[in-house]
Structure 1
């Protein structure tokens, strides 16, 4: 047991070192990272990290769900899918290889069964939205107790179901993981006997007849999640037991950190960047991120919606109006931190950047 005497956990001040890359589906790769110091990883299943990617003209910050479980703490994995026109993920698929080190911020996020424990779960996902569901299922699988999970994932074709083999391996070892794959169309010359078409109310009722008794977690493109929400609401589901994760342009529920007043478009503000010795004038309706960009001051930015916490900076003086989506804690706010992507200066503001 001597190897556990002095356990050290990874902090994001230390880079991540890529150790393996595993193809999962077309344009989908799982990257596995270790801590160069040998530290273990500690996070909630379902949380995410923001990677600093050294693209040409970069750096570029991109947020990815951790697809590994903290029950397997020696490595941290992200499973990424390159969409049409993507920059960061495409760079990872083309250039990120074993031995390379990159900076990461996190982990962060509250989309986790740790925050909503239940006897029975219904996990619904589409595309790469499967990754937090895999992490949470792995956590329950590794707990040694029999879980009760109906696991639904929608994909274009069977060959595009991400992490399918990993899920089917776990489901083959215990009876508490009930997999339900839904595809729009079959692969050529490959028979498909599962669900086919678009996920709908009838399918949900067949997949999980006791859906009213389950805690629901949903992740995927915003139109998909909207359809799931509307289907559950129409079926009389108690939406207090519905949780979703999204990094799209339509955040689910914003939180307002009170300020003395609200930004006014025709009033001027000043943002002082204390570390850089630079200041700039802008409108009160501009964000701290846009002010920094205009002043040539680099600020790390991830989701740009107040979700990931990548742009957290300490406010030294002044007031801001901040609207966020859970990317900052009450403790951070009490210590003077704000999220630059969704904070607007009210008059003169000094930040640590």
Structure 2
């Protein structure tokens, strides 16, 4: 079959179950950032909204990690994830070193509710640092491909100019999007950088984006950066309702804490496999499953990624976080075991 020919329509990729993806291409973005083009092995169409992410697992790494989809949402035959190699990072190092064209990984999603599809606005400040640029790249690429008249200031911080991801491409996209202004700001430039430089703070934001208070802010980057930007944008008049952020820098969660041993445990049963285990009251279902030696798909363990999403057949739970679920999924009975504590015995469709 001619790979350039329009393919026959195939079924939709299922975002609520693991599926196989073939790596079709891989390339370096910077010295420690690499992108991978992934295509559903069965030819299904994989759709997403700009700002969503995919959870990936491989046999070799033995862990699951979530990565933002950086490709334009205008296409549905393949997606791109962009991965920064982290010191000691099991999955990022594994993907950088071993994932080549023709290899297969498993993916779950797309998922997530970060981006303009869930935060519609007249104008934006896309504020990022380091690998936090990835959802912003998806937003801008999608706008360019769909002819959306995007009014946005794209302000990105990095350590040096050698760490800037997609600088040349963004300059080209800005020529297609007349109301897009791109500002790359290395904090410690090394090669005679002629543009803006230094650390971003409230003073820098006020100078570079004087109408900051009138823009909806989408922020992504290291936790320290986002904490600083949260304070800085608030000081400049951005309301909390106009500030959104995305992060995969997850710390210790409540779900790992022990439950109340003085209360009777609840029985959790997987309907399809027939496996069951006790869950102390006050403990999440995911934490109890791990303690019982029963594997469940999971990534963030705090209700943000949707990897553990499960259909509840019966029983009652209290969910402390529902970010990764849409209301229609909640109405159908889906829960997030990582943030769900049982009030009764529970049966899940697993």
The Cα of 1:285 is off from its aligned counterpart by 2.1
TM-score by length of 2: 0.89
For the 8 Å contact 2:212–2:236, the answer to whether it is kept is no
Q: Which runs of 5+ in 2 are unaligned?
A: none
Q: Deviations over 1:212-270 (max 9, x none)?
A: 2212111111211111111111112223221111222379xx9xxxxxxxx74531313
Q: 1: distance between equivalents of 2:222 and 2:300?
A: 14
For the 8 Å contact 2:144–2:176, the answer to whether it is kept is no
Structure 1 match to 2:272: 275
Q: 1: distance between equivalents of 2:123 and 2:315?
A: 47
> Greater shift after overlay, 343-352 or 213-222?
343-352
In the TM superposition, what are the counterparts of 1:160-239 in structure 2 within 5 Å? Answer: 160-187=163-190, 190-239=191-240
Q: 1: distance between equivalents of 2:9 and 2:86?
A: 42
| 1:91 lines up with 2:94 in the alignment | yes
> Greater shift after overlay, 289-298 or 25-34?
289-298
Q: 2: distance between equivalents of 1:50 and 1:145?
A: 28
Structure 2 match to 1:337: 334
In the TM superposition, what are the counterparts of 1:54-203 in structure 2 within 5 Å? Answer: 54-56=59-61, 58=62, 60-187=63-190, 190-203=191-204
For the 8 Å contact 1:268–1:347, the answer to whether it is kept is no
For the 8 Å contact 1:34–1:76, the answer to whether it is kept is yes
For the 8 Å contact 2:30–2:162, the answer to whether it is kept is yes
Structure 2 match to 1:348: 345
Return the structure number with greater strand share.
1
For the 8 Å contact 2:312–2:334, the answer to whether it is kept is yes
> Greater shift after overlay, 16-25 or 68-77?
68-77
Q: 1:265 to 1:183 in 2, by over 3 A?
A: farther
For the 8 Å contact 2:84–2:92, the answer to whether it is kept is yes
For the 8 Å contact 1:276–1:297, the answer to whether it is kept is no
SS of the aligned residue for 2:157 comes to strand
Structure 1 match to 2:246: 245
Structure 2 match to 1:257: none
Q: Deviations over 1:105-163 (max 9, x none)?
A: 11111112122333322100011110110110111122325432211111111111122
For the 8 Å contact 1:53–1:62, the answer to whether it is kept is no
RMSD: 2.3
The Cα of 1:24 is off from its aligned counterpart by 0.8
Q: 1:229 to 1:173 in 2, by over 3 A?
A: same
The Cα of 1:289 is off from its aligned counterpart by 1.4
Q: 2: distance between equivalents of 1:265 and 1:323?
A: 20
SS of the aligned residue for 2:245 comes to strand
Q: 2: distance between equivalents of 1:284 and 1:303?
A: 22
**Structure 1 residue corresponding to 2:57, chosen from 49, 52, 55:** 52
For the 8 Å contact 1:284–1:347, the answer to whether it is kept is no
TM-score by length of 1: 0.88
SS of the aligned residue for 1:324 comes to coil
Q: 2: distance between equivalents of 1:73 and 1:276?
A: 33
Structure 1 match to 2:296: 299
For the 8 Å contact 1:268–1:281, the answer to whether it is kept is no
For the 8 Å contact 1:222–1:250, the answer to whether it is kept is no
Q: Deviations over 1:271-330 (max 9, x none)?
A: 223333333234212221122123232210011110111101222332222111411122
Task: Tell me how many residue pairs correspond in the alignment.
Answer: 338
For the 8 Å contact 1:24–1:30, the answer to whether it is kept is yes
For the 8 Å contact 1:19–1:34, the answer to whether it is kept is yes
Q: 1:274 to 1:37 in 2, by over 3 A?
A: closer
Q: 1:192 to 1:328 in 2, by over 3 A?
A: same
Structure 1 match to 2:44: 39
Structure 2 match to 1:285: 282
Q: Which runs of 5+ in 1 are unaligned?
A: 255-262
